[in-house]
Amino acid sequence: MWQLECTHYQTESKMQVSQTKNYYWRIAGFYFFYYAFIGMFAPYWSLYLQSIHFNAVEIAILMSVQPVMRMLAPNLWGWLADHTGRRGLVVQIAATLSAVFYLGVFATHSFWGMLMVLGLMSFFWSASMPLVEATTLSYLGKHTSRYGRIRSWGSVGFIVSVVGLGYAFDYIAISWLLTAGLICELGILIFSRQLPDTPVSVHHTDQQSIRQILFKPSVLALFLACFLMSAAHGPYYTFFSIYLVEHGYAKSAVGALWALGVICEIAVFFFMPRLTLRFGFDRVLVASFALAVLRFMLIGWGVDFLLLLLVAQVLHAATFGAYHAASVGLVHELFQGRHQSKGQATFGSLTYGAGGMLGGIISGPIWQHYGASVLYSCSAAMALLGLFLMLWKQNVADTAA
């Protein structure tokens, strides 16, 4: 009997591995184009907006539209996916409408027109990733340690986009950015139709409301700390490229510096199974927050020293790569069963959405009135507050144990 059960388990495990291999390229393809879009948008969209004569405050507002929608939209889409049990269909609808509304960027140069277009596009674009994260982790099942390797294809897409466009814009007009974004949107749409359907598994927490899980002190501390980490990165995503160009760096160098950070991010994704096995998600996050403080101080005060900037970009491995993999993995452990999509969506809304919005919006006035050094010092301060929260959370967890 024991041999029969063992054989059954081995067969089941082989089937899971086989399924993962069969769908690997489809999931990886979605990540590739989704993050290629971010590689187009985050470093260069502010430069495009500057080229059509928007000022710093207008740029900060427009660059904050995406985080605002990442705050509002995922909860609605997460609820819809869990309620219908059709995550894949919801992702397809969102990807289609995102591509349709993106076409509006070709038609407007006005502030209000751009605000409306980016708002509509981002409302649907931001719906996809929390649902795809839940799909990927559900599909991997017991093999969630492989998440980083699949997710690394998103980082590859980011690098291809940011480096390719960086070199291209030394020779072609920045307005070609719009076409690059359309290619990414079409790639997202195509691969959204290739994702696997994953059933929602039954879990003992299904009887609890999502609020009961969310309002646990340790969960609140995690979400607030990650909110602060996203807010700390807001000035980086909004003004880093403009900051470098104003200090004499060529656009190709800007692209290369962005790419360096993401290359290091890819490397840490491959090491995450070992890191989490040895240290656990909480300790990885504590280290990520501590290194974020150092990174933003280096960016704010060392921009004229290439070596310090290189160190700062290498630290992207910790402040985004290790941070993202550990936080998503921790949320996956905390929100199971019927709360899986809503848990990832709530996390994305409150952290990347609300945090990114706050960081983006306040970056404009601070940049304009106090300068970049003060702005990135504020980023370091927010990361430091997040570090204190993570240390408190870890202390609470150790005491409970």
Average pLDDT of span 268-286: 89
pTM value is 0.74
pLDDT at 24: 79
Q: Which of 34-38, 272-276, 335-339 has the lowest mean pLDDT?
A: 335-339
Average pLDDT of span 302-313: 95
pLDDT at 207: 59
Share of the chain above pLDDT 70, in %: 87
CA dihedral 109, 113, 118, 124 (to 10 degrees): -140
257 alpha carbon, distance to own chain's centre:
18
DSSP 208: S
Closest CA to 322 of 283, 366, 293: 283
Query: How far apart are alpha carbons 229 and 347 in whole angstroms?
Result: 13
pLDDT value at 14 more than 70: no
The pair phi, psi for residue 155, each rounded to 5°, is -65, -35
pLDDT value at 17 more than 60: no
Closest CA to 332 of 74, 144, 154: 144
pLDDT at 68: 81
For the ranges 60-74, 75-89, 309-323, the maximum mean pLDDT occurs at 309-323
For the ranges 130-139, 167-176, 210-219, the maximum mean pLDDT occurs at 167-176
pLDDT at 208: 63
Query: How far apart are alpha carbons 372 and 300 in whole angstroms?
Result: 6
pLDDT value at 34 more than 90: yes
**Is CATH 1.20.1250.20 the right assignment for the domain spanning 24-194+208-400?**
yes
Q: Tell me the one-letter amino acid at 346.
A: T
pLDDT value at 204 more than 70: no
pLDDT value at 99 more than 90: yes
Burial of 324 per CB tally in 10 Å (0-12, 13-18, 19+): buried
pLDDT at 401: 53
Q: What is the pLDDT of residues 349-388, one digit of tens each?
A: 888 888 988 998 898 899 989 999 999 999 999 999 999 9
Average pLDDT of span 314-320: 95
The SS3 assignment for 281 reads: helix
Q: What is the pLDDT of residues 226-260, one digit of tens each?
A: 999 999 999 998 889 889 999 999 888 888 898 89
Query: How far apart are alpha carbons 392 and 398 in whole angstroms?
Result: 10
Q: Cite the DSSP H helix spans in 249-371.
A: 251-301, 306-314, 316, 323-334, 340-348, 354-370
Q: Angle 78-34-179 (CA atoms, 0-180°, nearest 5)?
A: 130
Q: 374 versus 21: which is more confidently predicted?
A: 374
Is 370 within 8 Å of 286 (Cβ atoms)? no
Query: How far apart are alpha carbons 43 and 36 in whole angstroms?
Result: 11
Is 145 within 8 Å of 20 (Cβ atoms)? no
pLDDT value at 281 more than 80: yes
Q: Tell me the one-letter amino acid at 19.
A: Q
Task: Give me the long-range contacts of 273-280 (CB less than 8 A, separation at least 24).
Answer: 273/145, 273/146, 273/148, 275/322, 276/145, 276/325, 276/326, 276/329, 277/145
Which residues make Cβ contacts (< 8 Å) with residue 357, sequence separation at least 6? 64, 67, 68, 70, 71, 234
pLDDT at 74: 77
Q: 13 versus 361: which is more confidently predicted?
A: 361
Query: How far apart are alpha carbons 63 and 93 in whole angstroms?
Result: 24
Is 226 within 8 Å of 347 (Cβ atoms)? yes
Share of the chain above pLDDT 90, in %: 43
pLDDT at 15: 40
Structure tokens at 394: 């870890």
Query: How far apart are alpha carbons 374 and 396 in whole angstroms?
Result: 33
pLDDT value at 169 more than 60: yes
At 338, is the pLDDT very low, low, confident or very high (cuts 50, 70, 90)?
low
Q: What is the pLDDT of residues 106-156, one digit of tens each?
A: 999 999 999 999 999 999 998 788 788 878 877 776 666 677 788 889 889
At 201, is the pLDDT very low, low, confident or very high (cuts 50, 70, 90)?
low
